[in-house]
Structure 1
Amino acid sequence: MSWSSQPTITWPDLPSDHPLLQFHSRLPKIIEESGHAHIWGVTLTTSTPPAFSTLLILQKYLRSVSNDVDKAAENLAKTLKWRKEFGLDKEDNTVEEFGPDFEGLGYVTKVGKNDGKEDIVTWNVYGAVKDLKKPFGDLQRFLRWRIGLMERAISHLHLSTTTIPIPDYGKGDDPHRIDQIHLYGGVSFLRMDPLVKAASKATIEIMQAHYPELLLRKFFVEVPLIMSWMFTAISLFVSAETAKKFQVISYKENLAKELGNAEDVPKDLGGNGPNLATLEKRLESDKA
């Protein structure tokens, strides 16, 4: 990942006792103890006045714990340590290749909205898995792939250069979040393989611990009506705020109308667009 210079942008004025400034005052200790200052394309800085992009990251952590500065500081410190240990934020831009075992399993695209804005979307295509042991047999390898998919999606949020702030907790929506779509066409719901169960559990734990305030909506698509209860059960293992973002769609053709611009959704999912691979290439070309 490249750590380019960040533009000078001004965050809305904050009173001296604002939780965001209190949080920022703890940043020197957090960075020193974690030995890491990079997250989601942003280099956290301790400068005064605080950098816009730094406040953006801190605001996500604050909102995730209802403005509890102590908890936010604790969570950020854990995340920075984890990112360092996991090997994220490499300056050489190297991308790990996972080969055919993961081919067709995940994509990142964008979907236009009626207001002219766009949502970044990650797609997990579970029906593309032919041999469960290949993507799920090595848990750490699967997690590196899944985290890589998430990091690619976050890169399209442009958190280091955006000029749009995040409102204070309880005063508006965070505009910098991602839709996640899980496609279950061709997947048997009669039993959950232990490998898949372990991978799902570990992924949920990591996302909850280290990717706060990044989920806009999560769609479970082509889930048989009779199995909808299973996804209700999943909501018991996540926060109430996260559970409210879950949507179960039994008929894949109904997905497009939930997302936005039909040209950005494949035809077999109710849209008018090309397949996911082509849509992903379109997004990457736009970024370049």
Structure 2
Amino acid sequence: MSAEVKTEPAPAAVAEATAPTSGHTAPDAVPTAEPATVATGDTPAEPAPATAAEPTKALTSTPAATAAPTWELTPDTPIAALFARLPAILSAAEHPHIWGVTLSAAEPAAFSTLLVLQKYLRSVANDVDQAAAALEKTLRWRKEFGLDAGADPREYGADFDGLGYVTTVGVGAGTREVVTWNVYGAVKSLSATFGDLDRFLHWRVALMERAVARLDLAHTSTPIPDYGQGDDPHRLAQVHVYDGVSFLRMDPHVKAASKATIELMAAHYPETLSRKFFVGVPLLMSWVFSAVRLFISAETAKKFVVVSYMANLAPELGDKADVPVVFGGEAGSLAELEAREGAEKATATA
């Protein structure tokens, strides 16, 4: 570990860790000692009525698998109202692709299209106007940012080696959860990693895209419950590892990267977070995260888990066979886990 990492922190990780993943506007990034870095989270407290014009007939989706039940929509539901706006949204954005799904306004409604619309609705408590605006904004951004072309975070060079991984972990009853790992203690040089903001953001977004791709939204046949009626089954966990990171100073490059990352994740990845772990946080700093809970919704607070000792992560995260030994599991390194899952996936699809 270089001396630079220990004396000049990468607190962007902390600011990003407290960022919302809903469609709400994110605040400016500040050190985590200031609870203002935390917004309201994924699920607002009260639902808002749909205000959009509604279709005149019920819609029935075509599920991804023929054996799966259809997702039937009635004219008075927010998702039907948002689907009615989709032609205008797609025309304005001139980009139909998001998270591996090609949005379609054709009837009957495509199952994968409804999944995306439902995520946007849940992020704003069923406010159709807000959901429509947020989705159009995201589609425009994806086109301008150059996404949906298969970018890989591992293509960004040695400055990002060891900083990000995507794995899955067993969480019981044959269910697996996608996990994004952000290893901020592996930063070798703050200026090299965070100095070029555009380059950093493309790496960070590509890592997120690789994780969301593992959700396979284009092919699942499991619907998302209406807002307030249960959990979204298509979300991922995040682990932020701070071992070797100092919490005492804020580099200006890191601050800029933190602010920009918060804004992008809040605006363009609604309803994607299930749980977030803060690992290797010094005991002296644990009070900060406890204080933060006083300023956020109970729903958001439930997603935050502080683990000061790295070896204590596995019991919180899932099956030990899917967690590296350094985090209390039984597997090899994160790189080995990622490679193992890649090989298993290749074998399964061969």
TM-score, normalisation: structure 2: 0.76
Question: Which stretch shifts more, 190-199 or 272-281?
Answer: 190-199
Deviation at 1:243, TM superposition (A): 4.3
**For 1:26 and 1:257, how far apart are their aligned partners in 2?**
45
1:1-288 residue pairs with structure 2 within 5 A?
11-90=70-149, 93=150, 95=152, 97-231=155-289, 241-288=299-346
Deviations 1:54-86 (A, max 9, x none): 000000000001111111001000000000010
Query: After TM superposition, which residue ranges in structure 1, 4 or more long, deviate above 4 angstroms?
Result: 6-10, 232-241
Residues 65 and 221 of structure 2 are in contact (CA less than 8 Å); yes or no, is this contact kept in structure 1? no
Unmatched tracts of structure 1, length 5 or more: 1-5
**Structure 1 residue 152 displacement after superposition:** 0.3
Measure, in 2, the Cα distance between the counterparts of 1:146 and 1:273: 25
- What is the CA–CA distance in structure 2 between the aligned matches of 1:75 and 1:94, rounded to whole Å? 23
The Cα of 1:102 is off from its aligned counterpart by 0.4
Contiguous gaps of at least 5 residues in structure 2? 1-63
Tell me the percent identity.
62
Give how far 1:50 is off.
0.4
How far apart are residue 236 of structure 1 and its match?
8.6
Paired residue secondary structure (1:181): strand
Counterpart-to-counterpart distance in 2, 1:230 and 1:84? 38
Aligned residues of 1:156 and 1:287 also touching (Cα < 8 A) = no
Displacement, 1:280? 0.7
Deviates most, 278-287 or 79-88 = 278-287
Shift of 1:240: 6.5
CA–CA distance in 2 between the matches of 1:152 and 1:215?
A: 14
CA–CA distance in structure 1, aligned partners of residues 104 and 136 of structure 2: 14
Higher relative contact order (CA 8 A, sep 6+): 2
Residues 11 and 165 of structure 1 are in contact (CA less than 8 Å); yes or no, is this contact kept in structure 2?
no
CA RMSD of aligned residues (A): 1.9
Q: 1:204 and 1:182 mapped to 2: Cα distance?
A: 14
Change (3 A) 1:206 1:233: farther
Deviation, structure 1 residue 198 = 1.6
The structure-2 alpha-carbon separation of the partners of 1:237 and 1:130, relative to structure 1 and needing over 3 Å to count, comes to farther
Q: How far has the Cα of 1:132 moved from its partner? A: 0.8
Measured after TM superposition, the shift of residue 204 of structure 1 is: 1.3
TM-score, scaled relative to structure 1? 0.92
Q: CA deviation at 1:10?
A: 5.1
Counterpart of 1:116, as a letter, is G
Could you tell me how far apart the structure 2 residues matched to 1:18 and 1:218 are?
A: 31
Aligned AA for 1:44?
A: L
* C-alpha distance 31-240 of structure 1, shift in aligned 2 (>3 A): farther
3-state SS, counterpart of residue 73 of structure 2:
coil
Number of residue pairs matched? 281
